[in-house]
Amino acid sequence: MDKPALFEKKFATLKGMIKGSRQMVVLTGAGISTLSGIPDFRSAKGVYTKKWNEISVERLLSIGYFEQHPEVFYAWAKEYWYRLDTFEPNVVHRALALLEQKGYIRGVFTQNIDMLHKKAGSKKCYELHGSAEHHHCTMCNAYYPYEQMKAIVLKDEVPRCRECNAVIKPDIVFYGENLDRNLLSIAYEMFSHADLVLVLGSSLLVQPAANLPSYALQNSAPLVIVNAQKTSYDSSATLLFSDLQQLGEALELYAQGLEARKVLL
């Protein structure tokens, strides 16, 4: 956590940057949801730090493994993804939703699949790695919502399509799968035209999301990073904050006091 005097100084600069920006874009990672109680991947208590029944989470979340062992994937996901609806958005999610509502955010790009930005009220939220909210049949593409799948997974069954009996997969980008091309195009456009970028709680290690801030830097947009650990972009950042709770609380208060302005396109 930053010392109060230093934090106040840096936050005063950030407020000026937010007020002056017209094209602010935000990139969020698993770090922000740790404040809601959902573990991230690469922190000391992250999901990658322990194996599940001798299988690494990276392997569990690869598309090849899912195709061969959907029952193992769903047994893991039962304890994790199919509990995500029980978590609540935190002060960072709320602050971002409020800033958007008041016309200060062009887009929030998240690597999280936990649905918390939308639950907090963000509308311009782009889920780069998909979301646990939606599911499709791997054969005929029939649609299935989270609640329906959760009921099946909690009974220790693998969800299968009512139409063709093939395995159903959550609309989450597994390792070995590509991100949605349309979504990436929107991201490249927004980051290229951004006049301010906030990166909140991401290790900036997972591509292609980790590359997005470089599109803004090419255009000399200021970059603000909030992370307890160092990232490879720190030397390019205009401002660095270390604690998401501290930043989130200040940001929410600030957003509450802002006048609403004309909503950006």
Active site residues: 129
**Under rule CB under 6 A, residue 21 binds ligand NAD:** no
What does the alpha-carbon distance between residue 183 and residue 196 come to, in Å, rounded to a whole number? 20
Among 224, 244, 250, 251, interactor with ligand NAD by CB under 6 A = 244
Among 2, 15, 17, 42, interactor with ligand NAD by CB under 6 A = 42
Whether residue 100 contacts residue 20, with contact meaning beta carbons closer than 8 Å, is answered with no
**Under rule CB under 6 A, residue 29 binds ligand NAD:** yes
**Under rule CB under 6 A, residue 90 binds ligand NAD:** no
What does the alpha-carbon distance between residue 250 and residue 79 come to, in Å, rounded to a whole number? 33
The length of the chain is: 265
Sole window of 24-32, 66-74, 96-104, 143-151 interacting with ligand NAD (rule: CB under 6 A): 24-32
Phi, psi of 184 (to 5 degrees): -65, -40
What does the alpha-carbon distance between residue 1 and residue 233 come to, in Å, rounded to a whole number? 19
Sole window of 13-21, 36-44, 98-106, 155-163 interacting with ligand NAD (rule: CB under 6 A): 36-44
Nearest residue to ligand NAD, using CB? 31
What share of residues in the chain are helix, strand, coil (percent, to 5)?
45, 15, 40
What mask of x and - would describe binding to ligand NAD in positions 171 to 210, judged by CB under 6 A?
Answer: ------------------------------xxx-xx----
**Under rule CB under 6 A, residue 133 binds ligand NAD:** no
Q: Write the DSSP string, 65-106.
A: HHHH-HHHHHHHHHHTGGGGGG----HHHHHHHHHHHTT--S
**Under rule CB under 6 A, residue 248 binds ligand NAD:** no
C-beta of 51 vs 162, nearer to ligand NAD: 51
